[in-house]
Amino acid sequence: MAPTIAITTNTEPSKVTELVLNKGFGVKGLSESGITCLPNQYIQPLEERITVSEAMPGGSIPIIDMSNWDDLKMEELICDAAEKWGFFQIVNHGVPIQVLEKVQEATHRFFGLPAEEKNKYSKENSVSNNVRYGTSFTPQAENALEWKDYLSLFYVSDDEASALWPAACKDEALEYMKKTELVIKRLLGVLMRRLNVTEIAGEKENLLIGSKRINLNYYPICPNPELTVGVGRHSDVSTLTILLQDEIGGLYVRVEESDNWIHVPPVKGSLVINVGDALQIMSNGRYKSVEHRVAANGKSERISVPIFVNPRPEDMICPFPEVFAAGGEEAIYKKVLYSDYVKHFFRKAHDGKRTVDFAKI
Ligand SMILES: COc1cc(/C=C/C(=O)SCCNC(=O)CCNC(=O)[C@H](O)C(C)(C)COP(=O)(O)OP(=O)(O)OC[C@H]2O[C@@H](n3cnc4c(N)ncnc43)[C@H](O)[C@@H]2OP(=O)(O)O)ccc1O
Ligand SMILES: O=C(O)CCC(=O)C(=O)O
Ligand SMILES: [Fe+2]
């Protein structure tokens, strides 16, 4: 049910916070309350807004067909894309389309629940830190809020997921995680070969795929999309992110340290893959964890479902020794405890690539 309070640009910030955060309506509740203009705390500074003029026309991140695993050309395309763009899309990846559609339906089902149901999983109310319903990114640290609600699920075991994840989405989220396991291992196998890492087992397996987090992102219709963002510029802190987006579009990726951004067009049945900070660190900067952001939309709601594949929280991460096999290359990142790295990321507002400076020598 939509909240009954009338919200305008000048509604007292505390009233907006009460509704969105404390009562758990999220920005979805704001959007459905009938607001016709954006409350002040969502207005982003000019330099953070997404303008079409910055978007590079014509260019595109690679779309890679994965139907033939023995194809050496495919391996080259994957590694080249991870080095140059940090982003690519995959098609014919082996994850059944029904699994993708079901997790999208489940995402709509979860966000369609009444606010008091969703709010049982807020930071304050959730029985576990591994299940969290929230809004924006880090509302307590942000000067301007972002137009997004999310549910974040940290995977520990099937039993824990069964017991703690919301019934509206747990089976579908788990199935999506399971059915993407093979393609994740294959992608990492390919990426590791170029770094002279021949086997993903033992410690390497922990460092590359030791933990997983799945987020369900919901971007409601926004009354002034040009004044705010769905997600601000950031790079993921994962090893690799597997992202399922719907048909709406709005994800932009920074082009090689320029001020240009490129749109990632929705391709039915595809998955968007991006390198995260942990892999940038472990590859000593060879693979790029690239800034990306999401525009708000004035006409349609949008959902996306990223799986963040990560080291385990207790792992120390640093460049793999194999990367230096050829000699002559110096380490540019030091050893950091992965959970310290993630906490550093979560405790500040989105600020683009500066998170990785935390691990710079
Ligand atoms: C939300 O919008 C987002 C999210 C993203 C995410 C991009 C990613 O790459 S996520 C992948 C991150 N990697 C992992 O989760 C695996 C490793 N996990 C860990 O190290 C730990 O589980 C932990 C995440 C550090 C949490 O450990 P815990 O001991 O429970 O620590 P806390 O003290 O409770 O939390 C630390 C700090 O982080 C905040 N936080 C925790 N979980 C989340 C979450 N799911 N979403 C947002 N924030 C979270 C928590 O509030 C704490 O901050 P305080 O200020 O309260 O101390 C990309 C873009 C987006 O827009
Ligand atoms: O919604 C999207 O397309 C991307 C979301 C994202 O970057 C994230 O959740 O880390
Ligand atoms: Fe991201």
Question: What's the CA gap between 100 and 102, in Å, rounded?
Answer: 5
| pLDDT band of 54, cuts 50, 70, 90 | low
Report which residue type is found at 280.
Q
Question: What's the CA gap between 301 and 1, in Å, rounded?
Answer: 17
Question: What's the CA gap between 173 and 49, in Å, rounded?
Answer: 32
Question: What's the CA gap between 78 and 65, in Å, rounded?
Answer: 10
The percentage of residues in the chain with a pLDDT greater than 70, rounded to a whole number, is 95
- What is the enclosing helix (H) or strand (E) of 217? strand 211-219
Q: Which ligand is nearest to the CA of 237?
A: 1
Strands 87-91, 63-65: parallel, antiparallel or unpaired by DSSP?
A: parallel
Q: Are 183 and 111 in contact (CB under 8 A)?
A: no
Query: Best substitution site from 240, 243, 246 to test ligand 2's pocket, by max atoms within 8 Å of Cβ?
Result: 243
The DSSP line for 12-74 is -HHHHHIIIIIS--HHHHHHHTT-SS--GGGPPPGGGS--GGGBPSS----EEE-S-TT-HHH
Question: What's the CA gap between 173 and 130, in Å, rounded?
Answer: 14
Q: How far is the CA of 311 from the centre of ligand 1 (A)?
A: 13
Q: How far is the CA of 234 from the centre of ligand 3 (A)?
A: 6
- Residue whose C-alpha is closest to residue 165's, from 179, 178, 176, 155: 155
Q: How far is the CA of 235 from the centre of ligand 3 (A)?
A: 6
- Predicted pLDDT at 51: 80
Per residue in 103-140, pLDDT (tens digit) is 999 999 999 999 999 999 999 999 999 999 999 988 88
**Residue 310: CB within 6 Å of ligand 1?**
yes
- Nearest residue CA, atom 17 of ligand 1? 313
- Predicted pLDDT at 208: 98
Which pair of structure tokens corresponds to residue 13?
A: 């910030």
Q: How far is the CA of 231 from the centre of ligand 3 (A)?
A: 8
Task: Name the residue with tokens 């997790």.
Answer: 103
Per residue in 223-251, pLDDT (tens digit) is 999 999 999 999 999 999 999 999 999 99
- Nearest residue CA, atom 1 of ligand 2? 304
Question: What's the CA gap between 119 and 301, in Å, rounded?
Answer: 20
- Predicted pLDDT at 19: 87
On the question of pLDDT at 11 being above 80, the answer is no
Domains and CATH numbers, the chain: 13-359 (2.60.120.330)
Per residue in 272-316, pLDDT (tens digit) is 999 999 999 999 999 999 999 999 999 999 999 999 999 999 999
Ligand 2 atom at shortest distance from the alpha carbon of 308: 10
Sequence length of the chain is 361
**Residue 122: CB within 6 Å of ligand 1?**
no
Ligand 2 atom at shortest distance from the alpha carbon of 250: 3
**Residue 238: CB within 6 Å of ligand 1?**
yes
Q: How far is the CA of 306 from the centre of ligand 2 (A)?
A: 7
Q: How far is the CA of 301 from the centre of ligand 3 (A)?
A: 18
Ligand 1 atom at shortest distance from the alpha carbon of 234: 59
- Using CB atoms within 10 A of its CB, is residue 120 exposed (0-12), middle (13-18) or buried (19+)? middle
State the average pLDDT over residues 51-64: 76
- Residue whose C-alpha is closest to residue 214's, from 312, 124, 336, 130: 130
Report which residue type is found at 28.
K
- Predicted pLDDT at 53: 62
Query: Best substitution site from 61, 292, 308 to test ligand 2's pocket, by max atoms within 8 Å of Cβ?
Result: 292
**Residue 213: CB within 6 Å of ligand 1?**
yes
Q: How far is the CA of 304 from the centre of ligand 2 (A)?
A: 7
Q: How far is the CA of 234 from the centre of ligand 1 (A)?
A: 14
**Residue 25: CB within 6 Å of ligand 1?**
no
Name every protein residue with a CB atom under 6 angstroms from any ligand 2 atom: 215, 217, 231, 236, 243, 245, 251, 292, 294, 304, 306
DSSP 8-state secondary structure symbol assigned to residue 351: -
Please give the model's pTM, rounded to 2 decimal places: 0.96
On the question of pLDDT at 5 being above 90, the answer is no
State the average pLDDT over residues 189-208: 95
